[in-house]
Structure 1
Amino acid sequence: MAADNEAPAASSANESRPSGDNNKASNNNGSENRRNPRHDHRKPGKGRSEKGRGEWGREKGDKRKKNDEFKEFKRRKLNKKGDSADGESSNNPFSKDEIAAEERRPKRKVAVMIGYAGTGYKGMQVNGNEKTIEADLFKAFVAASAISKANADDPKKSSLVRCARTDKGVHAAGNVISLKLIIEDEDIVDKINAELPEQIRIWGIQRTNNAFSCYQTCDSRWYEYLMPSYCLLPPHPESFLGQKLVELAKEHGVEDELAARMEDVKDFWSDVEEKEIKPILARLDPETKAAVLERVHVMDDEEVAARKEAAKETEESAPAEEKPAAETPAGEAAEQTTQPEAQQSGLVLESHKPKNRELGPVDFALRDIKAAYVAAKRRYRVSTERLNRLQEALNKYNGTKNFHNYTVQKSFFDPSAKRHIKSFVVNPKPIIINDTEWLSLKVHGQSFMMHQIRKMVGLASLIVRCGTPMERINESYQNQKMAIPKAPGLGLLLERPVFHNYNRKATESLGKEAIDFDKYEEKIQAFKDKQIYTRIFSVEEKDNSFHMFFNQIDQFKTNHFLWLTAGGMKAAEIARDTTGEKVQQDVDKQLGDEDEEDPEGGEVHETRDAVDFLKLPTIKNSKRPAQHHQLRRRQSHVVEPAVKMSAQALNKIAPNSPSRQNPSELETSIAQALFDLESNTSDLKVALRPLQIVSAREIEVGHGKKAIVIFVPVPSLQGFHRVQQRLTRELEKKFSDRHVLILASRRILPRPKRSARSRNTQKQKRPRSRTLTAVHDAILEDLTYPVEIVGKRVRTKEDGSKLLKVILDEKERGGVDYRLDTYSEVYRRLTGRNVNFEFPQSGPADY
């Protein structure tokens, strides 16, 4: 009571103090006396009610100006000390005088078709001061005056977007970037190529509409993978895997089936031993011979280290301008003469030479034997039966499958693990380069995850070389973890992206030419022969990457790869956690191929299995007790959707929502995805924990594309806005080829009747926020957030229909111009009204 009585006295004392320094001092003592800076324009003792709305608004200041200044402040780059890096320390290589003196010319949105050999580069995407493909391209654009000097310091100013991001050392015969360029000069392509190294080429520059984004409009991608045909040879009978294949085939009574699959190569190793290895062993004394036989089929630590070192030198050490020693076009490969075996042996020995110790008789003998094995492999020519079996394995990938075992950190329940493969074929006519036969595999798919293609090639080649039943590929799509090694990245090549839907729209309605690589086919093939293929062939000839990869798998003395045997997945059972990720990481580490970056742009957040979420022990289906099934029924929902989710993920759906009782498959997937992000992403955990959704629906937006609209409670909308840009980016990775939009779930109340009786019975006045107009305006704001709407216009057509034109902030054009069609169609489907989103027109030229 005393505290309550003292409060008014203190308030009156403060009111009686005169203004001035003493009053300022009192205002700084305690948070209760601090004034809001936004209220500085108000006079003491007076509020807004004593002023007109116009006067009050003018004194408050320009809100848009404050927002622009705040956005500009956030865009400032900071140096290591945290100080602003603008002004004198700008990254722009040109002075202010040079920028001012340059003539301003219009820039247009274009698609640039490029090809490059990735040797010596740290990948495609700009990454600080690292040497990347985009960094060299951007410098060439500036040097050729395709980008103005004022925009030379930041690719974002030109709205640069890449279609497919390749990892370091990965090549691309065809790729696309979209950005704004100055293309008035007719010979602009030649000017840009003159500024580029030989291993990067511009094929063509195609004018597009302003909303074009090569990443969003790409329908599918073609990749090529090159590998020597000896990768299909079976493991050596004396290797660990070779012995297990025979042992488990006898145990399961399938020796005849295995022998039939190996019929075309049954004599290969016996002939090599008789003609190549026995003469070497005959020259050794008994003691040295015994030591050599003990070590010849064992993977030494030196070989593992050599493989890591060879991979490192291949991807990092080779300079970008360095040309391979052998430059043999692929088409002329069959006419080339073979190198002497002594030279091949010398190359093999370089990569296996032990360091910091003297070589003894055993080392020299091992060197000769391993060189003989490599030379014999290179002389191998694949049979038609073996090629047909490889094609049969590749056909198993076609269609929409759950490729959770073909990437990292994705569970069976993750919807983004489902990918669609259109075709996967092997060229039936191998090519011969320097006595080594090479196979070309081409895959066409909508999108790919990290390491997916390399693991697909690795599994298919292992299935063929080990005589494994084809059903094992179907088992890899099931809810069980399989350790699949990824084939060497040396042979991976991005062939070209496909823009089928955009090309149809461009030619039929936009009046633009199609993005087509076929018109440059001759140039591309010549570039591949000279800059890409020769690099792949020469690196393999020097480092024996494929030989070392498969040799290490054959000597991998654990259960990881015993699913290749007749024992199946049961033989490969090992102690692991429920996600199986530790297993894959251990395999990659021991194979010397730890995860690095994401070559296909796939996301890398960890996704756990539902069993792990529920903290239940893994129990085999055949012996599950009744209590276990009851517990699972209590923790899962009564109505089981097609995509299962954990009990914790169900809490991401609001309790008062009808979807909580009967969630759709889409709502289940979104709830699970939100819970995964909350559990595994540290910087989103706190922000996502209190957020829930009400419902979700999928909307067709034209050209075969779809958008996902997530409805959230109105009180939670502000919380979603805090993380919306990051959240939508992560969700769009999981739900590929679909835009994700977040809207508040609002209800429109009907207009009250005007009769006296209805006015008397009306309990409360209808809130303005529940009117039709207010809800439609709120939907517009939610759709475009965080882009500000700067104007609206209503156009009435001759037929009486109305079109709403919404003008967006020009400064945010680069981030949303490719989503405008989605905004328009979603608004029309939700409200029944037509709307057109656009940016302010600054004149006939777009500067």
Structure 2
Amino acid sequence: MAADNEAPAASSANDSRPSGDNKNAANNNGSENRRNPRHDHRKPGKGRSEKGRGEWGREKGDKRKKNDEFKEFKRRKLNKKGDSADGESSNNPFSKDEIAAEERRPKRKVAVMIGYAGTGYKGMQVNGNEKTIEADLFKAFVAASAISKANADDPKKSSLVRCARTDKGVHAAGNVISLKLIIEDEDIVDKINAELPEQIRIWGIQRTNNAFSCYQTCDSRWYEYLMPSYCLLPPHPESFLGQKLVELAKEHGVEDELASRMEDVKDFWSDVEEKEIKPILARLDPETKAAVLERVHVMDDEEVAARKEAAKETEESAPAEEKPASETPAGEAAEQTTEPEAQQSGLVLESHKPKNRELGPVDFALRDIKAAYVAAKRRYRVSTERLNRLQEALNKYNGTKNFHNYTVQKSFFDPSAKRHIKSFVVNPNPIIINDTEWLSLKVHGQSFMMHQIRKMVGLASLIVRCGTPMERINESYQNQKMAIPKAPGLGLLLERPVFHNYNRKATESLGKEAIDFDKYEEKIQAFKDKQIYTRIFSVEEKDNSFHMFFNQIDQFKTNHFLWLTAGGMKAAEIARDTTGEKVQQDVDKQLGDEDEEDPEGGEAARATPSTSSSSIHVVEPAVKMSAQALNKIAPNSPSRQNPSELETSIAQALYDLESNTSDLKVALRPLQIVSAREIEVGHGKKAIVIFVPVPSLQGFHRVQQRLTRELEKKFSDRHVLILASRRILPRPKRSARSRNTQKQKRPRSRTLTAVHDAILEDLTYPVEIVGKRVRTKEDGSKLLKVILDEKERGGVDYRLDTYSEVYRRLTGRNVNFEFPQSGPADY
């Protein structure tokens, strides 16, 4: 009865409200009174002033549009100046009227063959507001109308991908970028080159298929390294390393073997001392002479720091727009000194002023002596025997080897440390530039790690100049730390990438031309001579980079490099703690690698060094995996008891990232994997699929882009995909007995359709799927077409073939992933 008494009160309250637009409101006759008394305990209905669900939804706006705007906001992380973190302007440089007035023309996927001299640039890749090769290229594309004004604000809109990233100051005679360009104009190459500085050239533009990615389809790369032949001269007998070579050779009874390897250069240093150094010392008073002899073969930290700073300033102060070094008169640099000895030798060897004192007679005498040493080195001409020995050392690199000692932050057990070298050859015909003899070394390999080529050159040169047995190179592949110094980056240049498999497919089935640099060989050689080689030669002429590098090695008064002597690796042993971390940091610090970035060019993620100090035989990673790394495999997983080698490597990699990467530590700590497998995805390539517990999937998604990037560095040439480990429950039987005995209904998430849809979402994350449709072929087979969000095209278009093949292998169904031609509405 209480409910009956309350109903009229509700009615009278409602009678005073406006009737709204209801045309029958006048005759409503208290429709609000007709309520079921049993429903009075529920919340009261909405009043006329409140919004209905439909009205509220319409005012809220388009959900997809809001999601797109939020994703765009996240992708463009603006800095204080209003520019995005990846160097793209947040605003298009063209006005809306200019964009609207431009004629819309089709863009095609192409491979652009380029060459450049890296002097004055902060590397190849777009990097904030820094001056980079890609930034200048993109501006030239826009200026030449190869990229529309609507896409001028973001290289990702054109799907720009580079084949090989080069670092600051590194040159490339041939490199490739792939992107979508407007190539209707026949003279488009000339138009683009007209907008570029002389040290960047476009060799050609080749049409490719839409799925082409120069990074993924590149089979191998050629690099060239140039160095003066005097790098093969032995250390000075009075230097620390020179003395140790003789001392340990006597101790181990191999003096005759060492002498035979040094036969062709045995009189070099004695002749220099007699003809060049003694006349300088004869002019000095006894006190000055004694001080000079005490310091002449000692590495001066003050001088090293000053020269490094001067070289840094020289490099940073050389903008790309200025005339190249080949146009600079060779005598300009000589004005920096007025001493007769320096002028006669043609050297620029400055006496750097110490911070806390003035230069004295000892400083000037040391400068003259060091200038005489450098001049004598430059007059050296390498013998055939020495070149043959260098080639013998380079041959030791051929094949698949564990190059963990030839990079930074990689342990012996890291699978990505294994690289394949196809050939490494020194040109038997040196060239002479400005009285200095230069050697050309060319290496052909599938892929290279950070500093790998420079350390390979450094080790081979040291083996030859110190008369070290060739077996030492084989020892560098074993499970022991070897301190290998990296040769100067001045002489390194990317010769060209190779696309053998793609070229065969392009000519045989795609109807496209091959990506071939040979047709531009004449132009490339002229460019190398004018823009690259001349810069290398002139910088060495001024800074003496190679002389300083080997002189520092010779005067390094620790046992880091004593593996070059007859004492071998035992003589180079360094005290280490139980984890091996101390020796890793110590060696990196001594070699100048402690502040380097990640070996693959990403953010730092140091790998834990191996803890073994004596064993040099190969041990299966599964046996050596630590208990902490084993915890990265879920306890209820069958792989926990007997993990495969791949699962062991992934667990160890996750633990290393958690332990050594501060910004990933908290996110990775609770995450575990269930299993992992490799899947062939065609073209001889593989993908790694990591299965994780369903409850952990959201945690992986928070760091997935960064995590997959780090893992792909460790597992080179393989895409890494993270999928939830889901189980499909069978469809329940329809019999009455089964319905009676069934304890609970099968969850919708465990059905075959739901699991297959979830795999699609996991594969493409974080890219949104905006459409699907099924096409039935004439033979009755079905093909699923999945349409992805256009905004993320540049980040994943080279992975679409991998997505398709992995989905087919996991589900048995064919699927094509693609992006809309203009927008989702077209579908």
Distance 1:346 1:335, change over 3 A: closer
CA offset at residue 687 of structure 1?
A: 1.7
**How many angstroms apart in 2 are the aligned matches of 1:298 and 1:837?**
64
**How many angstroms apart in 2 are the aligned matches of 1:694 and 1:56?**
44
Distance 1:278 1:511, change over 3 A: same
Aligned to 1:424: 424
Partner SS, residue 89 of structure 1 = coil
**How many angstroms apart in 1 are the aligned matches of 2:147 and 2:41?**
46
**How many angstroms apart in 1 are the aligned matches of 2:28 and 2:282?**
96
Partner SS, residue 23 of structure 2 = helix
Aligned to 1:4: 4
Do the aligned partners of 1:106 and 1:846 also contact (CA within 8 Å) in 2? no
CA offset at residue 468 of structure 1?
A: 1.0
Do the aligned partners of 1:635 and 1:647 also contact (CA within 8 Å) in 2? no
CA offset at residue 62 of structure 1?
A: 5.0
**How many angstroms apart in 2 are the aligned matches of 1:385 and 1:33?**
111
Q: 1:610-649: CA deviations, max 9, x gaps?
A: xxxxxxxxxxxxxxxxx99999999999996557321101
Aligned to 1:501: 501
**How many angstroms apart in 1 are the aligned matches of 2:306 and 2:2?**
82
Do the aligned partners of 1:199 and 1:531 also contact (CA within 8 Å) in 2? yes
**How many angstroms apart in 1 are the aligned matches of 2:592 and 2:35?**
62
Partner SS, residue 631 of structure 1 = coil
**How many angstroms apart in 2 are the aligned matches of 1:273 and 1:38?**
113
Do the aligned partners of 1:641 and 1:664 also contact (CA within 8 Å) in 2? no
Do the aligned partners of 1:230 and 1:380 also contact (CA within 8 Å) in 2? yes
Distance 1:577 1:836, change over 3 A: same
CA offset at residue 284 of structure 1?
A: 3.1
Distance 1:36 1:822, change over 3 A: farther
CA offset at residue 722 of structure 1?
A: 1.8
Bigger mean CA offset, 723-732 vs 744-753: 744-753
**How many angstroms apart in 1 are the aligned matches of 2:752 and 2:455?**
53
Do the aligned partners of 1:219 and 1:500 also contact (CA within 8 Å) in 2? yes
**How many angstroms apart in 2 are the aligned matches of 1:742 and 1:39?**
49
Distance 1:195 1:66, change over 3 A: closer
Do the aligned partners of 2:120 and 2:318 also contact (CA within 8 Å) in 1? yes
Aligned to 1:813: 793
**How many angstroms apart in 2 are the aligned matches of 1:189 and 1:465?**
47
Distance 1:640 1:405, change over 3 A: closer
Do the aligned partners of 2:409 and 2:599 also contact (CA within 8 Å) in 1? no
**How many angstroms apart in 1 are the aligned matches of 2:363 and 2:38?**
81
**How many angstroms apart in 2 are the aligned matches of 1:8 and 1:479?**
90
Which of 661, 665, 672 is the aligned partner of 1:685?
665
**How many angstroms apart in 2 are the aligned matches of 1:34 and 1:119?**
86
For residues 79-90 of structure 1, the aligned pairs below 5 Å read 79-80=79-80, 90=90
**How many angstroms apart in 1 are the aligned matches of 2:459 and 2:36?**
65
Distance 1:801 1:154, change over 3 A: closer
Q: 1:73-122: CA deviations, max 9, x gaps?
A: 32445342899999999543323322222222222222111111111111
Partner SS, residue 309 of structure 1 = helix
Aligned to 2:636: 656
Do the aligned partners of 2:348 and 2:543 also contact (CA within 8 Å) in 1? yes
- Structure 1: give runs of 5+ residues left out of the alignment: 603-626
CA offset at residue 140 of structure 1?
A: 1.2
Do the aligned partners of 2:157 and 2:791 also contact (CA within 8 Å) in 1? no
Distance 1:40 1:362, change over 3 A: farther
Partner SS, residue 665 of structure 2 = helix
Partner SS, residue 409 of structure 1 = coil
For residues 684-703 of structure 1, the aligned pairs below 5 Å read 684-703=664-683
Aligned to 1:615: none
Bigger mean CA offset, 574-583 vs 684-693: 574-583
Q: 1:530-566: CA deviations, max 9, x gaps?
A: 0000110111111111011101111111111111111
Partner SS, residue 596 of structure 1 = coil
Bigger mean CA offset, 265-274 vs 764-773: 764-773
Bigger mean CA offset, 440-449 vs 582-591: 582-591
CA offset at residue 707 of structure 1?
A: 0.5
Bigger mean CA offset, 667-676 vs 497-506: 497-506
Q: 1:690-724: CA deviations, max 9, x gaps?
A: 11111111000100010111111122122212221
- Structure 2: give runs of 5+ residues left out of the alignment: none
Q: 1:720-772: CA deviations, max 9, x gaps?
A: 12221221111111111111111111222222222333333333332222222
**How many angstroms apart in 1 are the aligned matches of 2:569 and 2:796?**
47
Bigger mean CA offset, 397-406 vs 644-653: 397-406
Q: 1:787-822: CA deviations, max 9, x gaps?
A: 222222222222222222222222222222111111
Do the aligned partners of 1:483 and 1:584 also contact (CA within 8 Å) in 2? no
**How many angstroms apart in 2 are the aligned matches of 1:88 and 1:324?**
28
**How many angstroms apart in 1 are the aligned matches of 2:621 and 2:271?**
57
Matched residues, number: 823
Bigger mean CA offset, 515-524 vs 764-773: 764-773
Do the aligned partners of 2:480 and 2:615 also contact (CA within 8 Å) in 1? no
Q: 1:31-57: CA deviations, max 9, x gaps?
A: 999999999999867999999999999
Distance 1:82 1:383, change over 3 A: closer
Bigger mean CA offset, 476-485 vs 542-551: 476-485
Do the aligned partners of 1:699 and 1:708 also contact (CA within 8 Å) in 2? yes
Distance 1:446 1:673, change over 3 A: same
Distance 1:275 1:14, change over 3 A: farther
Do the aligned partners of 1:166 and 1:599 also contact (CA within 8 Å) in 2? no
**How many angstroms apart in 1 are the aligned matches of 2:67 and 2:480?**
51
Do the aligned partners of 1:112 and 1:205 also contact (CA within 8 Å) in 2? yes
Distance 1:598 1:37, change over 3 A: farther
For residues 686-765 of structure 1, the aligned pairs below 5 Å read 686-765=666-745
Distance 1:164 1:628, change over 3 A: closer
Do the aligned partners of 1:485 and 1:588 also contact (CA within 8 Å) in 2? no
Q: 1:435-487: CA deviations, max 9, x gaps?
A: 11111111111221111111111111111111111111122122221111111
**How many angstroms apart in 1 are the aligned matches of 2:24 and 2:538?**
78
Bigger mean CA offset, 708-717 vs 96-105: 96-105
Q: 1:307-359: CA deviations, max 9, x gaps?
A: 30343134212232334555699999999999998536463432656677554
Distance 1:49 1:450, change over 3 A: farther
Do the aligned partners of 2:157 and 2:793 also contact (CA within 8 Å) in 1? no
Aligned to 1:536: 536
Q: 1:644-676: CA deviations, max 9, x gaps?
A: 321101011111111001100000011111111
CA offset at residue 159 of structure 1?
A: 2.0
**How many angstroms apart in 2 are the aligned matches of 1:37 and 1:637?**
85
Partner SS, residue 106 of structure 1 = coil
Distance 1:177 1:818, change over 3 A: same
Structure 2 length normalisation: TM-score? 0.87
CA offset at residue 186 of structure 1?
A: 0.8
Identity, % of aligned positions: 98
Distance 1:205 1:81, change over 3 A: closer
Do the aligned partners of 1:334 and 1:431 also contact (CA within 8 Å) in 2? no
Partner SS, residue 93 of structure 1 = coil
**How many angstroms apart in 2 are the aligned matches of 1:204 and 1:814?**
22
Q: 1:279-326: CA deviations, max 9, x gaps?
A: 333333333332222222112234312430343134212232334555
**How many angstroms apart in 2 are the aligned matches of 1:40 and 1:79?**
56
Do the aligned partners of 1:808 and 1:838 also contact (CA within 8 Å) in 2? yes
Do the aligned partners of 2:402 and 2:418 also contact (CA within 8 Å) in 1? yes
CA offset at residue 430 of structure 1?
A: 1.0
Do the aligned partners of 1:395 and 1:424 also contact (CA within 8 Å) in 2? yes
Partner SS, residue 225 of structure 1 = strand
1:119 aligns with 2:119: yes
Do the aligned partners of 1:804 and 1:835 also contact (CA within 8 Å) in 2? yes
Distance 1:40 1:499, change over 3 A: farther
Structure 1 length normalisation: TM-score? 0.85
Do the aligned partners of 1:110 and 1:207 also contact (CA within 8 Å) in 2? yes
Do the aligned partners of 1:329 and 1:533 also contact (CA within 8 Å) in 2? no
CA offset at residue 363 of structure 1?
A: 2.9
Distance 1:826 1:35, change over 3 A: farther
**How many angstroms apart in 2 are the aligned matches of 1:769 and 1:198?**
60
Distance 1:542 1:743, change over 3 A: same
Do the aligned partners of 1:123 and 1:170 also contact (CA within 8 Å) in 2? yes
**How many angstroms apart in 1 are the aligned matches of 2:715 and 2:364?**
55
Distance 1:576 1:738, change over 3 A: same
Distance 1:16 1:303, change over 3 A: farther
**How many angstroms apart in 2 are the aligned matches of 1:132 and 1:83?**
16
Do the aligned partners of 1:48 and 1:56 also contact (CA within 8 Å) in 2? no
Q: 1:188-230: CA deviations, max 9, x gaps?
A: 1101111111111011111222222222222221111100010
